[in-house]
Structure 1
């Protein structure tokens, strides 16, 4: 049985995603399978020329990749979910940025947050490591797939 906090969290995330009916209905079945990949750590120094000109939103292109958001949004020992790009970026140690898919490997629901050093899917309470995306607890058995990220100027970018 879900507690009130879980229900409210699921409803809020579903509203953000804009697909509440299919997401809230996805509560059965088995594990999603796939080939896990490893994440590559990136140092915080600029990997390409800093972005110049107007503001850069999550869909803007930057030298070396698609801008996800400012480096300052990704705390050391934590992370940030960039829902529009379906990417979660973590910073396990100062200057080391890691990217993972923000889609839970248990049932394909969106990752909700990064709290207390873990990536959390609020739908079935799977927790993943911010270091390598490996499952820490919950029903998920498969790591979050790695996503290539880098630092470009003051932004975190998704690279090919």
Structure 2
């Protein structure tokens, strides 16, 4: 049996290292919790916790559920999209004139997506990628698609519906 205390009752180096290792393992396991928990947190009108990654043109959401302007249609690139972190939504234009919107919160662990490139919406935390066409998973570890968000396109304006 290993000795856990040394001189004058102080813990041995082996006991300290084992304790630190156990704490690290517990933290790692907590970070890899159940991936089903994050999808329920989606609310496009809720303010972001980590600042605006959008274009700064978004208006605050009203309490009456009214539409909230996000951007001009010309601000959303064809074959790409734009992330509006303050609204927790990403708006994409897979084909010219076709606009889609999804939650900007990854369904794997609840991280905010941070990039749209090569036809995918990308999460920086664990590398999940989602299609700009329908929000489906193209690369895991996420197993669930990004939830769709309701938008309304009128003239040259894109708004949350």
Same fold (TM > 0.5): yes
- Structure 2 residue corresponding to 1:65, chosen from 56, 60, 67: 67
Aligned-residue offset at 1:154: 2.1
Aligned-residue offset at 1:152: 2.6
Partner deviation per Cα, 1:70-112 (whole Å, 9 max, x = no partner): 2112111111101111100011111000010000000111111
Provide the secondary structure at the position in 2 that maps to 1:146: coil
- TM-score, scaled to structure 2: 0.64
Corresponding position: 1:101 with 2:129 = no
Which piece of structure 1 moves more, 66-75 or 103-112?
66-75
Give the ranges of 4+ consecutive aligned residues of structure 1 lying more than 6 Å apart after TM superposition: none
Distance across 1 between alignment mates of 2:81 and 2:108: 20
Aligned-residue offset at 1:69: 1.4
Corresponding position: 1:30 with 2:12 = no
Aligned-residue offset at 1:142: 0.3
List alignment gaps of at least 5 residues for structure 2. Answer: 1-29, 41-55
Aligned-residue offset at 1:30: 2.7
Partner deviation per Cα, 1:35-56 (whole Å, 9 max, x = no partner): 9xxxxxxxxxxxxxxxxxxxx9
Distance across 2 between alignment mates of 1:31 and 1:68: 29
- TM-score, scaled to structure 1: 0.64
Give the strand-richer structure, 1 or 2. Answer: 1
RMSD of aligned Cα (Å) = 2.3
Q: How many residues align?
A: 113
Which residue in 2 is equivalent to 1:75?
77
Which residue in 2 is equivalent to 1:39?
none
